Amino acid sequence: MTLPFDKIDKAMPQFRLHHVGYLVRDLSAAQEFVDRLGYRIESDVIEDPVQTAFVQLIRQPDTACWLELVMPNGSESKLAKALSKGGGLHHLCYEVNDIVRACDHLRGQAMLTLSNPVAAAAFPGRQIAWLMDRGALLIELLESGDGYLTLASIMKKNGVA
Amino acid sequence: MNSFYRLQSIFRDVFSNPRLVLTEDMAMSNFDEWDSVAMVHVILAAEAEFGVRFNTDEVATASSVADIIKIIDGHLNQL
């Protein structure tokens, strides 16, 4: 059963898909996404100490979210085990206005907080947090903003108010 | 049933092994099947079983059966 939009709980935090994390052995995979699927590289390679990884954001023109390629930053990376199992789709990241409230909401929805909000290496001036559920769904929360690599910046480019 | 045996029941369920015998020195480092996803299962099941809530620091630092029992008992003693 679907719920009409006007019946959705307005007190619930809004979660807007910002990027999908995709675990790769090598960030040169970015070029494959460019050549095969028309993505454009939209960030430098950034080292993220929270994920113990190097990441790079790519996006297809006129789409409203990014693909984040994630590569372990060494053999001791927290992601090395996941990569040894094959890598691929890794996490979903949602932009939220109030990251503490969003964490509290998901914590009450049978998700475990793996990391409280901390400064985001890949998204300067914003915070991220990590949660996981029993089905191994890994969710990253990212504070919303209006500058580089924000959903608001895409909306502006696409002419959406 | 004390915390240890209740936790053993959780581990048997999470790892689908009804004969699993829990020991306090069992840890993520010496039990291959115990990865971060299994840990999420264990902690969420322990929260439901014991009526406690792990804080994020506890989630981040717990890596053995002894750690989990210590955290659970710490919360139960505060009730």
Q: Give the global pTM.
A: 0.86
d(CA A53, CA A77): 7
Which ranges of B1-79 would DSSP assign to H, the alpha helix?
3-14, 36-50, 56-61, 65-78
The answer on pLDDT for A161 being more than 60 is no
The answer on pLDDT for B1 being more than 90 is no
- Placement of tokens 């971060």 in the chain: B36
Percent of all residues in chain A with a pLDDT value above 70, rounded to a whole number: 93
Residue type, A88: G
Q: What pLDDT is recorded for position A68?
A: 97
DSSP A42-92: -S--EEETTTTEEEEEEE-TT-SSEEEEEEESSTT-TTHHHHHTT-EEEEE
d(CA A110, CA A106): 7
- ipTM of this predicted structure: 0.77
d(CA B53, CA B72): 9
Which CATH number among 1.10.3720.10, 3.10.180.10, 3.20.20.100, 3.30.450.20 corresponds to the domain A16-156? 3.10.180.10
Helix (H) or strand (E) holding A11: none
Q: What pLDDT is recorded for position A82?
A: 83
Q: What pLDDT is recorded for position A84?
A: 86
Q: What pLDDT is recorded for position A25?
A: 95
Distance from CA of A133 to the nearest CA of B (A): 7
Q: What pLDDT is recorded for position A76?
A: 87
Residues of B with CB under 8 A from a CB of A: 35-37, 40-41, 43-44, 54, 56, 59-60
Q: Is A136–B56 a contact, with Cβ atoms under 8 angstroms apart?
A: no
Q: Which of B36, B63, B68 to mutate to test the interface with A (most CBs of A within 10 A)?
A: B36
d(CA B7, CA A149): 44
Q: Which of A118, A134, A138, A139 to mutate to test the interface with B (most CBs of B within 10 A)?
A: A134
Mean pLDDT of A37-65: 93
Mean pLDDT of A36-55: 93
- The residue of chain A with its CA nearest to that of B43 is A112
Which residues in B lie closer than 8 A to residue A113 (C-beta atoms)?
Answer: 56, 59
At A17, is the secondary structure helix, strand, or coil? strand
Please report which confidence band the pLDDT of residue A78 belongs to, taking 50, 70 and 90 as the band edges. confident
Mean pLDDT of B13-38: 92
Mean pLDDT of B12-21: 95
Please report which confidence band the pLDDT of residue A143 belongs to, taking 50, 70 and 90 as the band edges. very high
The domains of chain B, with CATH numbers, are 3-78 (1.10.1200.10)
Per the CB < 8 A criterion, the answer to whether B15 and B38 are in contact is yes
Q: What pLDDT is recorded for position A3?
A: 64
Percent of all residues in chain A with a pLDDT value above 90, rounded to a whole number: 70
Q: Is A114–B59 a contact, with Cβ atoms under 8 angstroms apart?
A: yes
Which residues in B lie closer than 8 A to residue A76 (C-beta atoms)?
Answer: none
d(CA A100, CA A143): 9
Q: What pLDDT is recorded for position A135?
A: 86
Q: What is the mean pLDDT of chain B?
A: 92
Mind listing the pLDDT tens digit for each residue in B35-74? 888 999 999 999 999 999 999 999 989 999 999 999 999 9
**How would you class A154 by CB atoms within 10 Å of its CB: exposed for 0-12, middle for 13-18, buried for 19 or more?**
middle
User: What are φ and ψ of residue A103, in 5° steps?
Assistant: -60, -45
Of A42, A75, A77, A47, nearest in space to A60 by CA: A42
Mean pLDDT of A116-135: 93
Please report which confidence band the pLDDT of residue A46 belongs to, taking 50, 70 and 90 as the band edges. very high
Q: Is A114–B60 a contact, with Cβ atoms under 8 angstroms apart?
A: yes
d(CA A129, CA A116): 5
- Residue B39 DSSP one-character state: H
Mean pLDDT of A61-74: 94
Of A13, A1, A4, A43, nearest in space to A108 by CA: A13
